[in-house]
Amino acid sequence: MSKTAFIFPGQGAQAVGMGKDFYDNFDAARKLFDEADDALGYSIRRMCFDGSADDLKLTANTQPAILVVSVIVSELLKSEGVTADIAGGHILGEYSALVTAGSLKFSDAVILVHKRGQFMQEAVPVGEGAMAAIIGLDDATIIKICAAASEVGEVQAVNFNCPGQTVIAGKVRGVEAAVEQLKSAGAKKAVILPVSAPFHSTLMAPAAVKLAAELDKVQIDDAAFPVAANVNGQLETSAADIKKNLVAQADSPVKWIACVEAMKNFGAETFIECGPGKTLCGFNRRIDKKIRSLNVEDLDSLRKTLDALKA
């Protein structure tokens, strides 16, 4: 029997106004926004609906904001009888997936990702780290060139998003050197990204240490269904493995292609992206054109997805 995967977006999907449709129309959405505001001690709802794009872009705000909207979507789908057999999330999205699978309590996850954003921002002083997207070059070449460029500044491949799109991160000089060498090696594009830290590189080790201490304070349960782990692309349900993977995720490469392949191998044929944007649907098309990808980010897309599932 065909299975359904819920997949959850990561940082970069945020947009002012996200979630307002749901808040205006569903009690469940209002309840979750209120719960998040109480947990954080400030209004993430106001920031999502009326805040500035710059405030929403700050990592410590972006992460809880996207998580709240993503979990709302999964709850609305559940209320319509659409449930996940398996889940995965891109980076931050892994926390949304774990809430949906019953492994993390929603209010705990909101606080965790807020702190995680702060820890990641503090790990490397602003201006010392960078990231770049590399388009149209194979992973082996990228890894090899990053190793060579690390002589001038530490740099590594950190996000394996889909075939032909990989992100590198590290010290500014290393990233800049790698970008030039990758262009020479035939990359269609090698673009420095407008981010404030070298996320998922080994430079994030201080953030992983602080995150481990915070994870020790919260209850993590076994997942009700498998969740694909970013660090290894494997399906996990054990609380102990989930905790270990969340710590490692902060300073380890993200193996998103492997996550999608694992969900497919489990039997998932329909993938529903829950939360703002359609980035993961785009990755799916590059990973395997046969994947049926739907998305829910507002009222209109919720109706369209429910209609498509009924058909």
In 175-241, where do the E strands start and end? 189-192, 227-228, 235-236
pLDDT exceeds cutoff 80 at 105: yes
Q: How far apart are CA 60 and CA 68, in angstroms?
A: 13
Find the angle CA(166)-CA(171)-CA(176) to the nearest 5 degrees: 65
Q: Are residues 24 and 167 in the same domain?
A: no
Q: Are residues 208 and 278 in the same domain?
A: yes
Residue 271: pLDDT band with limits 50, 70, 90: very high
Please state, as a whole number, how many other Cβ atoms lie within 10 Å of the Cβ of residue 290: 9
pLDDT on residue 216: 97
pLDDT, tens digit (0-9, with 9 covering 90-100), for 130-183: 999 999 999 999 999 999 999 999 999 999 999 999 999 999 999 999 999 999
Of 151, 170, 195, which marks where a domain is finished? 195
Q: What six digits make up the tokens of 29? A: 């959405």
Q: Are residues 267 and 231 in the same domain?
A: yes
Of 155, 177, 195, which marks where a domain is finished? 195
74: Cβ–Cβ under 8 A, 6 or more apart, which residues?
A: 6, 8, 84, 96, 99, 100, 274
Q: How many domains does the chain have?
A: 2
The answer to whether 113 and 60 are in contact (CB under 8 A) is no
CATH of the domain at 283: 3.40.366.10
pLDDT exceeds cutoff 80 at 196: no
Find the angle CA(301)-CA(55)-CA(298) to the nearest 5 degrees: 5
Average pLDDT for the chain: 96
Q: Are residues 90 and 179 in the same domain?
A: no
Q: Which of 78-87, 119-128, 162-171, 210-219 has the lowest mean pLDDT?
A: 119-128
What range defines the domain where residue 10 resides?
3-123+203-310
Q: Are residues 168 and 207 in the same domain?
A: no
Mean pLDDT, rounded, for 267-296? 97
Mean pLDDT, rounded, for 269-285? 97
- Region of 249 please: left (phi>0), alpha (psi -120 to 50) or beta: alpha
pLDDT, tens digit (0-9, with 9 covering 90-100), for 32-70: 999 999 999 999 999 999 999 888 888 889 999 999 999
The answer to whether 158 and 132 are in contact (CB under 8 A) is no
pLDDT, tens digit (0-9, with 9 covering 90-100), for 93-104: 999 999 999 999
Q: What six digits make up the tokens of 15? A: 């947009």
Q: Are residues 115 and 264 in the same domain?
A: yes
Q: Are residues 220 and 176 in the same domain?
A: no
Q: Specify the pairing of strand 227-228 against strand 86-89.
A: parallel
Closest CA to 113 of 125, 126, 131, 96: 96
pLDDT on residue 82: 98
pLDDT on residue 2: 85
Q: How far apart are CA 224 and CA 70, in angstroms?
A: 18
pLDDT, tens digit (0-9, with 9 covering 90-100), for 203-218: 999 999 999 999 999 9
Q: Are residues 82 and 212 in the same domain?
A: yes
Mean pLDDT, rounded, for 264-272? 97
Q: How far apart are CA 177 and CA 181, in angstroms?
A: 6
Mean pLDDT, rounded, for 113-124? 93
CATH of the domain at 147: 3.30.70.250
